[in-house]
Homo-oligomer: A and B are copies of this chain.
Amino acid sequence: MLKAAIVGATGIVGQQFIVALKNHPWIEIVALAASEKSVNSSYRKAITDTQSGALRWFCKEAPIEEIMDLPVQNATDLSTGGIDIVFSAVDSGPAKILEPLYAATTPVISTASAFRYEKDVPIIIPGINPEHMQLLKVQQQSRGWKGFIAPQPNCTTVGLAISLKPILQEYGLNSVIMTSMQAISGAGRSPGVLGIDIIDNIIPYIPGEEEKVQLETQKILGSFSGHSIDPATFKISSTCTRVNVRDGHTESVFFSTQKPCNVVGVIKAMREFSGSFVKSELPSVPQNMIIVRDDPFRPQPRLDCDADNGMATVVGRIREDDVLENGIKYILVSHNTKMGAARGAVLTAEVLIQSGYIS
C-alpha cells in the first residue's frame, strides 16, 4: 500500500479526498494536514464545531472511521518522510508556497490552480493525454525535485476536454464556443455561494473561470514535443455562469471541425473513444469516459452527474449547427467534485502509479 497525506484535510475538497480514498486497494491515508488553526488535535476534534458539537463534515458519504483519530498536522511543517503521495486540496495562494515544499521529495497531486499554467507542469486527465505525464520528468530536472506537482484541471475544463478529445482525434478542431451553467458546490464553502444570492437566480460571472477553461483545454488537448507541450491550436471562447444546482456542471458546446463531420459520426467517435482507456484496470476508472444519451431531455445534472460514480462525462443533444463551418452542438454534464476534483485526482494518482511515476 502506498502512503498518502492529505493537505487541506479539513476543507470540503480535503474531505472529498478522504471519501475518494475509502477502501482504496492501492493507497492508504496516513497523514492529514491543514492550516495552523486546525492543528494539534485529532481530525474528529478539528472538524467539530465547539459551540454546537456538530461535525463539520460536508460529504453525503460517511467519513472513514480510522481517519477520525489521526492527528492534524500543520501543513507548513508536514514531514514527507514515509509519504508516497501528497494530495493537495488547499487554495491557490497557500498551494504556491506549500506544494513546492512537498514536491522536493514527493509527488503532489493537486486540485489547486497555482502551477497549472507553468511551462514544465502538465495537466493530466487519465485517458485523454497520457503522454503529458512525461513532462513531469522535465519538471523534476528543471526544478531539481525528486517529486513533482501534477495539478488537476479546473472542474469546468474536465468534461469539456474529455468530450472534445474524440472529435479532435477524428476530425480536427477549428473552434469551440461554450456556455457553462455551473453547480454551486464548485465554489466550495469559503466563502462559497450564498443561498440569498443564488435562490431563484443565475450569477453570470465567475472571476477567472473563463480564462482557466480556455487555457487549460488547449493545454490538455495539446501535444507533447519531448520537452514541452504545444497547446492545441483551435480557438476557444466561453461564458461561465453559476446556476442553482448543487452538483454537476452543465455545458452548452458549439464546435467547428477541420474535416467535414456529422451527427452520426460524432456520436460514433464519442462512443468508441469511451471504451479504450476504461479497459485499464485502475480502481477508479469509469466504465465509460463518455456516455452519449439519445433521450433529448438528457443530460440533466441531477440525474446524470453521478453516472459511473461521478466519473463519466454525459453528453446529449448532439445536433448540427448552421453557424460554424462543419458545426456541431451538444450539451454535457460532468460531476464537478468527483471527476472534476478529488476523485479525478485519485484517478490521476492511479495512472501515475501504473506508469511508474509514483512508487
Query: What residues make up the interface of A, taking CB atoms closer than 8 Å to B?
Result: 51-55, 58, 60, 175-177, 179, 181, 184-185, 189, 191-205, 207, 235-237, 239, 241, 243-246, 250, 252, 254, 294-303, 316-317, 321-324, 327, 329, 331
Contacts and interface: CB of A to CB of B under 8 A. Distances in A.
Nearest to A178: B179
Contacts of A193: 194-196
B294 A244 contact: no
Nearest to A55: B295
A194 B317 CA distance: 22
A52 B317 CA distance: 12
Contacts of A204: 250, 252, 297-300, 316-317, 331
Given A196-B185, A302-B200, A52 B244 contact: no
A148 to B, nearest CB: 32
B327 A237 contact: yes
Nearest to A337: B196
Contacts of A295: 52-55
Given A52-B296, A177-B177, A202 B245 contact: yes
Contact of A200 (B189, B236, B237, B244): B244
Given A177-B321, A202-B243, A241-B250, 10 more contacts: A52-B295, A58-B196, A177-B177, A181-B202, A181-B241, A189-B196, A195-B199, A199-B245, A200-B244, A205-B296
Nearest to A298: B204
A207 to B, nearest CB: 6
